[in-house]
Amino acid sequence: MPRALIINPNTSDKVTQILSDHIASHLPADWQLLRATARFGADYIASEASYAISAHACLDAFAPHAGQCDAVLIGCFGDPGIEALRELAGVPVIGLAEAAMQEAARYGRFAIVTGGQRWPAILQRRAQAAGLAAQLADIRIVPASGAELAARPDYARQVLGELCLQIMEAQPVDAIVLGGAALAGLGDVLAEELGLAVVDSVSAAARALQASAAAGCADADRDGAQYSGVSDVLREFLRG
């Protein structure tokens, strides 16, 4: 039975539930999902500061589950801490943004629609790190936050649809990524309305998670440093 750890890097248990429920709906019944919500940090990641803190929170959330899972999913569209977890976890680590970008890039040039005015720079870095910067045509920001969109699904569908149309009118793209756990499930709806591939980042991550079951992974790599000020369980994990 494959076991996956779903880490929500923000402190909202509600988002953790939405994320894990949607991931579970895309996986075979024999998968077991473990959940971890960040113990500290922001309830909504919307800045460089909250993003940096959430990377630490991801490592902290993973530490108690080390050796208990076959793969890890970072449930934030921005993938905070993904490189560090890949260095340390010893199992495949999937990120919402990377998985969605990789899937969209298979269609050709793609754009991203997400919430949060400070996300474009973070997402540009993620695209660069994934080797997909040349295929990323545009990033459009929804005025409302992901949490606000999740609370108003009809409004979310209207606003996201309008932004997607603006992108399609401005330049040729082959796919659009909907970024964020709060937008889970809207990709298929908008794809039918727009006649274009619309990649829901949560669904894409679920598919990547399932594919990771057959992938190998490098051994965990500890740096030998002595850490202070972190949680006891994280310190022990970092020691190896």
What CATH number is given to the structural domain containing 214? 3.40.50.12500
Average pLDDT over residues 95-109: 97
Q: What is the pLDDT of residues 192-207, one digit of tens each?
A: 888 999 999 999 999 9
pLDDT at 1: 85
Q: Is the pLDDT of residue 226 over 80?
A: yes
Give me the DSSP letters along 93-156. Answer: EEEHHHHHHHHHHTTSSEEEEEE-TTHHHHHHHHHHHTT-GGGEEEEEEESS-HHHHHH-HHHH
Calculate mean pLDDT across residues 17-23: 90
Per-residue pLDDT, 192: 85
Q: Give the pLDDT of residue 35.
A: 97
**135 and 85 in a common domain:** no
Please state the pTM of the whole predicted model: 0.93
**Judgement on whether residues 11 and 91 belong to the same structural domain of the protein:** yes
- Looking at per-residue pLDDT, the higher value among 223 and 175 belongs to 175
* pLDDT value at 237 more than 90: yes
Q: Which residue has the higher pLDDT, 34 or 240?
A: 34
- Does residue 21 sit in the same domain as residue 45? yes
Residue 106 structural domain = 97-201
> Same structural domain for residues 22 and 60?
yes
- 186 and 129 in one domain? yes
Residues 6+ apart with CB under 8 A from 229: none
